[in-house]
Structure 1
Amino acid sequence: MKAIDERPVGIADNPRPGRFKKHHMEDFAGRSYTTICAILLIVIILSIVYFVASKGLATFFKDGVSFSEFLFGSKWDPDGNHGEPQFGVMPFIFGSFATSILAAVIASPLSICASLFMTEIVPGWGKKLLQPVIELLAGIPSVVYGFVGLTVIVPALRDMFPGQGIGIAAGSIVLSVMILPTITSIGTDALSSLPRGLKESSYALGATRWQTIYRVILPTVLPSILTGVVLGMARAFGEALAVQMVIGNAPHIPRSLFESASTLTSVITLDMGNTVMGTAHSNALWSMALALMFMTFIFVVIVRLLERRNRI
């Protein structure tokens, strides 16, 4: 009989001794590449924040404009064409919030109904029919939305209501169509991820389909739907070109939905190319960009809070 080799099997007995070393190098390279990309992303974000903040704060520390006058003032005349320069941006803040909130009010019911249609009503052919339409809406450029709003929505509002048709209402309708895919996609994902036993338990207790949707499904996915609404509002708040084409760009607080107004983004888009870097007018536009970035941070915080509530 042959003697049995009772030596412990070591690395030297491995038929492929370089395999472990190769896997270790691949793991190290993957971690290094991911870390470098993450650090680079953080540096880019901090650089953008620093650059915008340094330009925007010059309005208060260099040009001597008071923060209260800038934030709560209602007159915008940075070049001083009618006397002393005025840097009040309250009309633009009002226009931004008015169009964003009204767009969310219009788009949210439509998005929720579309999500329910694709997941609960007719999840078969309904999703195959409606999903490509939603994706198509998400891919249309904003200038196309603005042009359609200018040629279709504005004349329709002019015929139905007093005024020229341009204003908060036209901008809100255009924005509602633009943010519809965002809210619908998030709502559809939330409804699709619900456990099947949740609905089956409701049916087992004798609830109808509509009672299950109204009393069980919607309350369960409400935090996710609110997350989609907030993200849609953030998208609408930062939109410039489409709103600029239909809102009228008037630097005052409108007295009705069918009166010309303006937003922070539309003013920045219109005036940035007509100013000289370093002037009070240019610094005021950077201050408005800083306000937009601050509002974006607030939207992100709200989304994080809603996501935490959803996990709880």
Structure 2
Amino acid sequence: MDSITEKIKRQSESTRKDRFGRALSWTALTFIALVVALIFAFVLSRGLNTFIGNKVSVTDFLFGTTWNPSVVNPKTHQPYVGALPMIMGSFLVTFLSAIVATPFAIGTALFMTEIAKKRGAKIMQPIVELLVGIPSVVYGFIGLTVIVPFMRGIVGGSGFGILSGTIVLFVMILPTVTSMTVDTLKSVPRHYRESALAIGATRWQMIYKVILRAATPGILTAVVFGMARAFGEALAVQMVIGNAALMPTGLTTPASTLTSVLTMGIGNTVMGSLQNNVLWTLAMILLLMSLVFNLIIRMIGSKGELK
């Protein structure tokens, strides 16, 4: 009888602990969701105020090519708030850096997982981890003192521009894409490799025809994740791109991105003014693009799970 009573007490205590743990988990989850919702609501309320409160045309804002919020166009009586140069600059440096980084990341990941596993783990893994931990300002300073003068000597001009920003972002996102690609290649089932070799495929045929094809969804996820980081990078790009709010006419001409204009202007405006509202609208575009990147990652991941 005593043993039964003791067992019931232990079960009751275990149930109370389970309920407490469940309540704590739901509280933390609710808090995180609330914080994210508040961030979205705050940024959207500030960003939409440009179109609601200041009566700026959405078309003029997204497709206008002149950025000077403190000056009013005498013909339309609207400020010059064309954000297309910054949007184009952000997309150009993002896509170009991803295009350059992808083959390097795949090659490094294959070396670490398929070609030289021991040397890859001992040599390449610490290098990749070190690159991940370097602060953005260090990348920007190296770009300012090395890449910009190099570009100036090779192609002429000031050396600032989208090409310099692309090189800096390429180095910054390379370890991220590489690490995720390594994890993806390691997740490919071993019997895929064994089956390919068993039917007479060479190692390179096995890598190209089987491993890379099976890992394609994960590699695409890594690339999109790297693009998301590149799109939101501010300080390093600001130091090498030139920060000229002009439509890009070439890869070597000074340009600007959404983040570079934000970091330069947000501290020099008055809250509630038009100049401040348009910057919040740029922040809203950044937030929405981050959401788009995350949705793309989820779509790729859900459709490309390895069986």
TM-score, length-scaled by structure 1: 0.94
Asked if structure 1 preserves the Cα contact closer than 8 Å seen for 2:101 and 2:170, the reply is yes
Cα-to-partner distance string for 1:175-195 (whole Å, 9 max, x where unaligned):
111111111111101111111
- Which of residues 122, 127, 134 in structure 2 aligns to 1:133? 127
Aligned residue in 1 for 2:97: 103
Aligned residue in 1 for 2:284: 290
Runs (5+) with no aligned partner, structure 1 = 1-9
Check if 1:256 corresponds to 2:247. Answer: no
Check if 1:19 corresponds to 2:13. Answer: no
Asked if structure 2 preserves the Cα contact closer than 8 Å seen for 1:249 and 1:263, the reply is yes
In 2, distance between residues paired with 1:41 and 1:205? 51
Aligned residue in 2 for 1:58: 49
Check if 1:31 corresponds to 2:25. Answer: no
Deviation at residue 12 of structure 1 after TM alignment: 5.7
Check if 1:49 corresponds to 2:40. Answer: yes
Cα-to-partner distance string for 1:20-77 (whole Å, 9 max, x where unaligned):
1221121111111110000000100000000001100010011010000000000001
Aligned residue in 1 for 2:62: 71
In 2, distance between residues paired with 1:16 and 1:308? 44
Matches within 5 A, 1:108-187: 108-187=102-181
Identity %: 49
Runs (5+) with no aligned partner, structure 2 = none
Aligned residue in 2 for 1:3: none
Deviation at residue 150 of structure 1 after TM alignment: 0.4
Deviation at residue 275 of structure 1 after TM alignment: 0.3
Q: Look at both structures and tell me which one has the larger radius of gyration over its CA atoms.
A: 1
Cα-to-partner distance string for 1:192-243 (whole Å, 9 max, x where unaligned):
1111111111111111111111111111100100000001000000000000
Aligned residues: 303
Deviation at residue 157 of structure 1 after TM alignment: 1.0
Deviation at residue 256 of structure 1 after TM alignment: 1.0
For residue 79 of structure 1, give the secondary structure of its aligned residue in structure 2. strand
Runs of 4+ in 1 over 4 A off after TM superposition: 14-17, 81-84
Aligned residue in 2 for 1:306: 300
Which residue identity does 1:70 align to in structure 2? F
Aligned residue in 2 for 1:221: 215
For residue 70 of structure 2, give the secondary structure of its aligned residue in structure 1. coil
Deviation at residue 162 of structure 1 after TM alignment: 2.3
Cα-to-partner distance string for 1:50-109 (whole Å, 9 max, x where unaligned):
000110001001101000000000000101188662000000000000000001011111
Which residue identity does 1:191 align to in structure 2? L
Check if 1:206 corresponds to 2:200. Answer: yes
Cα-to-partner distance string for 1:241-288 (whole Å, 9 max, x where unaligned):
000000000011121111000000000000001000000010000000
CA RMSD of aligned residues (A): 1.4
Asked if structure 2 preserves the Cα contact closer than 8 Å seen for 1:11 and 1:17, the reply is no
Cα-to-partner distance string for 1:106-143 (whole Å, 9 max, x where unaligned):
11111101110100000112222111110111111000
Larger % of helix: which?
Answer: 2
Asked if structure 1 preserves the Cα contact closer than 8 Å seen for 2:159 and 2:252, the reply is yes
CA gap 1:194/1:109 in 2 versus in 1, 3 angstroms: same
For residue 124 of structure 1, give the secondary structure of its aligned residue in structure 2. helix
